[in-house]
A and B are shown apart, each in its own frame.
Chain A
Amino acid sequence: AQTVTQSQPEMSVQEAETVTLSCTYDTSESDYYLFWYKQPPSRQMILVIRQEAYKQQNATENRFSVNFQKAAKSFSLKISDSQLGDAAMYFCATGNEKLTFGTGTRLTIIP
């Protein structure tokens, strides 16, 4: 079983600035991945980035990177050079048999 907590219901950032979205989790699994998904108004869930728990090196995908602290069970998402198209709901998730999602963070980009 696992739980995922996103404590920031809403965040906003100026265009071109950097923003960090927080996520903490708890799991009884020993081998797992962590994911960040983006859900724009179109409602499609888009995989942004993933991190294998066994890897110490933080994952990076272009402007998106994570800060994974396994001992603290923390998995934050950093978005650099924020763009208008980054505006969306962001969900943190984990789980093997099933994905457990956080409640989401609504990110607004200010032009």
Chain B
Amino acid sequence: KAGVTQTPRYLIKTRGQQVTLSCSPISGHRSVSWYQQTPGQGLQFLFEYFSETQRNKGNFPGRFSGRQFSNSRSEMNVSTLELGDSALYLCASSFKKTGSYKNTEAFFGQGTRLTVV
């Protein structure tokens, strides 16, 4: 069974540009969550998608957005990049039942290391 796949692994972007990160969850998992990890703020929740709908959102500006496709693959987009957006972006794949938020386990991808210069 394939794990969670995130692409690309590394990105270098210039301030003001935009970037799109991709996450393919474990087969059968419909929940995909995104997290930002920085040395200063630790791991912070960005948003969760379940069956193509955003179900929950963290405290990030509107420059951070996402979407989920019918095959559960998810993309995260950051527009007008700032130096502070440099971070490791982690995607988590979870099996959650329809109508239930219960998080019984979450498996992470290897992350995308974004550097904004």
Contact = CB atoms under 8 A, between A and B. Distances in A.
Contacts of B92: 45, 99
Q: Give the contact-size bracket for chain A.
A: 20 to 34
A97 interface: yes
Nearest to A98: B45
Contacts of B109: 44
Most buried by A among B45, B55, B113: B45
Nearest to B46: A98
B80 to A, nearest CB: 25
A110 interface: no
B111 A96 contact: no
Nearest to A104: B42
Given A43-B111, A104-B42, A97 B56 contact: yes
B6 to A, nearest CB: 9
Nearest to A42: B110
Most buried by B among A33, A37, A44: A44
A91 B42 CA distance: 10
Q: Give the contact-size bracket for chain B.
A: 20 to 34
A55 to B, nearest CB: 12
28 contacts: A31-B102, A33-B102, A37-B108, A43-B88, A43-B110, A43-B113, A44-B108, A45-B92, A45-B111, A47-B106, A47-B107, A47-B108, A50-B104, A52-B104, A91-B43, A96-B101, A96-B102, A96-B103, A97-B101, A97-B103, A98-B45, A98-B48, A98-B58, A99-B33, A99-B106, A101-B42, A103-B42, A104-B42
Q: Which 7 A-B pairs have the closest CB atoms?
A: A45-B108, A98-B45, A101-B43, A96-B101, A44-B110, A96-B103, A97-B56
Interface of A: 31-33, 35, 37, 42-47, 50, 52, 91, 95-101, 103-104
